[in-house]
Amino acid sequence: MAVVEKLRGDVKDASLAEQGRARIEWASTFMPVLGQIRDRFAHTKPLAGVRIGACLHVTTETANLVLALKAGGAEVTLCASNPLSTQDDNAAALAAIYDIPTFAIKGEDEKTYYKHIEAVVASKPHMTMDDGCDLVTTIYTKHNHLLKDMIGGCEETTTGVIRLKAMQKDGVLPYPVIAVNNALTKHMFDNRYGTGQSTIDGIIRATNVLLAGHTLVVVGYGWCGRGVASRAKGLGAHVIVTEIDPRKALEALMDGFQVMPMEQAAKAGDIFVTVTGNYHVIREEHFKAMKDGAIVCNSGHFNDELDLDALEKIKVGKDQPRPFIDRYELKDGRKVCILGQGRLINLAAAEGHPAAVMDMSFANQAMAAAHLAQHHQSMEKKVYDVPDHIDEEVAKLKLASMHVNIDTLTPEQEIYMASWSEGT
């Protein structure tokens, strides 16, 4: 009961707080790099007095990030960056035990989603931490008066970076933003190995489907697509890739996958995963061509990768045989199963990325926030990459935590690598 009285924010069920605490602590055991940064922050307080508005997937890994920011002196207010990605026990623990105002409920409708973003805006942040750019755009379009006290922001994912660059191009980016996604120690590991494993995990948890012997179509062969394709192949699936970029298509081909247009793949696939960050990549004509029982999901940031409005229009019936499955019946009796309402399947039906990979992504977030706090006065209203020294330090700390040593350049090699005069 005491826990409920202390609660700050809007969460589903405060009585889940202890369960959430146990899971946050479990995740922390796989996040040694973020743990070291948290300990360092506790001494140096690089974020003292900084109010951070965070719109992130409210997972146990995010909880560890928020606690590191708090150790650094920040006041953090948190909401969800997707209506289906919140872990309710974790949100309860943050709000009731760790004293972090948290506004997030798994399954919240769109109105509540935006009400929760507004609650974060009401905390008058000096800095934003976004996953998909919804917080920056809300502040820019509706709360311009906050901009005078704003020092900058960080962005977690590919789609958010694309939106921010579009804002920069239109001359409306309101403050400097660090594209955390662009750090190698983020997208090379999080997007590839994290999305790869957790997307397959989400599909299996939602359906219990056997991947071996089935045909899985990966739509988009970027960082996430490569991860999904290689993990599906490892489980025995026959993988088809669709692409629009000839270089990525060639890469998929040479990695051993079949490549074809979506029009053809629609007929061949048993399971479909979109990871493009693009709009309506699976449409009415594709749904109409699919096999009976086809399973379709998305692991890209927004649910509009699938044209679900078109599917709603052509359906004659719909049921929910299991949680996270909407089964649509078409006129000729064939059925198409959409997982997690087309939202990021790894967060909707599973737990998102494993903590060990979020360790690096969130180490970058924490250090990028500290960098902004220290250097914002000399930064322009631009999208910045994570400074290289931060990216490299994250990799070094991660290797050290895994007890892996690597070589260093000899003095002779350093000279050789810096010179042009040595040739054949």
Ligand X SMILES: NC(=O)c1ccc[n+]([C@@H]2O[C@H](COP(=O)([O-])OP(=O)(O)OC[C@H]3O[C@@H](n4cnc5c(N)ncnc54)[C@H](O)[C@@H]3O)[C@@H](O)[C@H]2O)c1
243 interacts with ligand X by CB under 6 A: yes
Q: Judging by beta carbons within 10 Å of its beta carbon (0-12, 13-18, 19+), is residue 214 exposed, middle or buried?
A: middle
- Beta bridge partner(s), residue 402: none
Using the contact rule CB under 6 A, the part of the chain among 42-50, 66-74, 156-164, 409-417 near ligand X is: 156-164
Using the contact rule CB under 6 A, the part of the chain among 89-97, 241-249, 321-329, 373-381 near ligand X is: 241-249
- Judged by CB under 6 A, the chain residues 298 through 327 that form the site for ligand X are 299-301
- Give the burial string for 242-271 (b: 16+ CB within 10 Å, else e): bbeeeebbebbeeeebbbbebeebbeebbb
Question: What is the rounded CA–CA span in Å between residue 326 and residue 345?
Answer: 13
Instruction: Kindly tell me which of 8 and 302 has the beta carbon lying closer to ligand X.
Output: 302
Contact criterion met (CB below 8 Å) for 96 and 6? yes
Distance in Å, CB of 147 to ligand X, minimum? 25
Contact criterion met (CB below 8 Å) for 221 and 251? yes
Distance in Å, CB of 9 to ligand X, minimum? 23
- Give the burial string for 84-113 (b: 16+ CB within 10 Å, else e): bbbbbbbbbbbbbbbebbbbbbbebeeebb
Distance in Å, CB of 124 to ligand X, minimum? 28
Question: What is the rounded CA–CA span in Å between residue 128 and residue 223?
Answer: 25
Distance in Å, CB of 57 to ligand X, minimum? 8
Residue choice 24, 79, 281, 308 for contact with ligand X (CB under 6 A): 281
Token code pair at residue 200: 């397959």
Token code pair at residue 239: 């993988």
- The helix/strand count (H/E) of the chain reads as 19, 16
Instruction: Kindly tell me which of 88 and 190 has the beta carbon lying closer to ligand X.
Output: 190
DSSP state of 305: G
94 interacts with ligand X by CB under 6 A: no
Instruction: Kindly tell me which of 283 and 334 has the beta carbon lying closer to ligand X.
Output: 283
Distance in Å, CB of 315 to ligand X, minimum? 23
Length of the chain equals 424
Residue choice 46, 176, 220, 342 for contact with ligand X (CB under 6 A): 220
Which residue, judged by CB position, is nearest to ligand X in the bound state?
222
Residue choice 123, 230, 346, 364 for contact with ligand X (CB under 6 A): 346
Question: What is the rounded CA–CA span in Å between residue 347 and residue 357?
Answer: 15
Instruction: Kindly tell me which of 83 and 225 has the beta carbon lying closer to ligand X.
Output: 225
Q: Nearest 5 degrees, angle CA 349-CA 352-CA 357? A: 160
Q: Which H or E element spans position 298?
A: strand 294-298
Instruction: Kindly tell me which of 72 and 202 has the beta carbon lying closer to ligand X.
Output: 202
Q: Which amino acid is at 191?
A: N
Q: How far apart are the first and last CA of the chain?
A: 77
- Judged by CB under 6 A, the chain residues 57 through 86 that form the site for ligand X are none
53 interacts with ligand X by CB under 6 A: no
278 interacts with ligand X by CB under 6 A: yes
Residue choice 214, 233, 248, 334 for contact with ligand X (CB under 6 A): 248
222 interacts with ligand X by CB under 6 A: yes
Question: Contacts with ligand X: how many residues (CB under 6 A)?
Answer: 28
187 interacts with ligand X by CB under 6 A: yes
Measuring CA to CA, how many Å separate 14 from each of 20, 69, 70, 256, 404? 10, 23, 21, 49, 41
Question: Residue 316 CB: number of other CB atoms within 10 A?
Answer: 10
Residue choice 195, 197, 364, 365 for contact with ligand X (CB under 6 A): 195
Bridge-based pairing of strands 383-385 and 177-179 is parallel
Residue choice 53, 225, 269, 342 for contact with ligand X (CB under 6 A): 225
SS3 316: strand
Token code pair at residue 137: 């755009």
SS3 335: strand
Question: What is the rounded CA–CA span in Å between residue 59 and residue 360?
Answer: 15
125 interacts with ligand X by CB under 6 A: no
Instruction: Kindly tell me which of 101 and 202 has the beta carbon lying closer to ligand X.
Output: 202
Residue choice 242, 303, 364, 365 for contact with ligand X (CB under 6 A): 242
Instruction: Kindly tell me which of 101 and 342 has the beta carbon lying closer to ligand X.
Output: 342
Residue choice 28, 60, 64, 157 for contact with ligand X (CB under 6 A): 157
285 interacts with ligand X by CB under 6 A: no
Residue choice 219, 228, 296, 350 for contact with ligand X (CB under 6 A): 219
Distance in Å, CB of 98 to ligand X, minimum? 24
Instruction: Kindly tell me which of 176 and 340 has the beta carbon lying closer to ligand X.
Output: 340
> Rule CB under 6 A: which residues touch ligand X?
157-159, 187, 191, 195, 219-225, 242-245, 248, 275-278, 281, 299-301, 344, 346
